[in-house]
Amino acid sequence: MAGKGFKVAIIGCGFVGASAAFAMSINNLVSEMVLIDVNKEKAYGEALDINHGLSFVGQMNVYSGDYSDCKDCDIIVVTAGANRKPGETRLDLAKKNVSIMKDITANIMKHYNKGVILVVSNPVDILTYMVQKWSGLPANKVIGSGTVLDSSRFRNHIAGILNVDVKNVHGYIIGEHGDSQLPVWSATHIAGTKFDSYISKNNIAVDKDKIIADVKTAGGVIIKNKGATYYGIALSINRICESLLKNYNTIMPIGTVVNGPYGISDVALSVPAVVNGNGCEKILEIDLTDAELKALLYSADQVKLVLDEVKN
Ligand code: 6V0
């Protein structure tokens, strides 16, 4: 049964937005879901398609709308954006999406009266930072999907190598959702047993560098094979939304504007945080080795370099 009373807007109904809407409908997470896209036909078609499956999952009000429907939303998910065109650099794309996101934020804020903005569009760290500044909302109310997907890929790789249930694998990728991200090996454990201890006790040879390389290139491999990535991120979005709506206090590496923790300031990136109805309730300062902290600070600097370019 629906009727939990939650309302979510999804802005951008391409591969990612539509898949996230589908995932949320299967989980019957909300009672009202509005799909918004500059391509109105696309949003209408996606809403209609999802409606036709509701008899199998439960009643929800799923429709296409406009920015005025952002009023009363508990979460506004933003997955709108351009993709990289041939010959375009990452920086060109960043500038283009910053400009798209500025318009979207202004449109959201005309009608915003409550809720959390969840930024998914890339470059997600840059856009999370900019949306928080432009919206004028407190930092806890604007979060990014950050490295939630990368961490899921990390856990999936490890589960495959160790042949254990992925739910028994705990670990984070933190920092940039991009090349400078880093694994927190020192905090990675298998059902409570530290990773290094688990592999040595079980005599399993592991190439840690390969795991990290595979996590970093996973998106590219999927794009090469099927053109875009959307199921993994859709389920990441569904999980973040569930934690927000159900006030779960879930600890996950969402993207957030960091000011102070780990000695980092004025940049958005991913660190483990408590996620509940308030959005990013609290950033956790977990124990890092010196090398991990150094890598996190390097990652923050890398994000700042791009921020400096796009801010001007
Ligand atoms: P897509 O399939 O091209 O969909 C983008 C959608 O945005 C289209 O339907 C457009 O019509 C719409 N759109 C464009 N401009 C606007 C606007 N101004 N207002 C409203 N809608 C607009 O792209 P896809 O869905 O594959 O990807 C969307 C974004 O998610 C991209 O920026 C990806 O890079 C990003 N991803 C982020 C991930 C993460 O982990 N953070 C993972 C995968 C993709």
CA distance 52 to 41: 17
- Mean pLDDT calculated for residue range 227-244: 97
**Ligand 1 pocket, residue 276 CB under 6 Å:** no
| CA-closest residue to ligand 1 atom 39 | 120
Interval 281-300 mean pLDDT: 98
CB 64 within 8 A of CB 38: no
Q: Is pLDDT of 4 > 60?
A: no
pLDDT of residue 83: 73
User: What is the reported pLDDT for 312?
Assistant: 64
- Could you give the count of Cα atoms lying within 13 Å of 85 in the half-sphere of its Cβ? 6
Catalytically annotated residues? 177
Alpha-carbon distances, residue 301 vs 140, 180, 270, 294 (angstroms): 22, 9, 13, 11
Measured by CA distance, the residue closest to atom 9 of ligand 1 is 14
Predicted confidence at residue 1, as pLDDT, reads 38
122 within ligand 1 shell (Cβ under 6 A) = yes
Average pLDDT of the residues in 42-51: 98
147 close to ligand 1 (CB < 6 Angstrom): no
CB distance 120 to ligand 1 below 6 Å: yes
| Residue 304 pLDDT greater than 80, yes or no | yes
- Distance (angstroms) between ligand 1 centre and the Cα of 31 equals 24
- Residue 89: pLDDT band by 50, 70, 90 thresholds? confident
pLDDT category at 2 given cuts 50, 70, 90 is very low
Q: Report the 10 Å Cβ neighbour count for 116.
A: 24
**Ligand 1, atom nearest to 15 Cα:** 25
pLDDT at position 267 is: 97
How many residues comprise the chain?
312
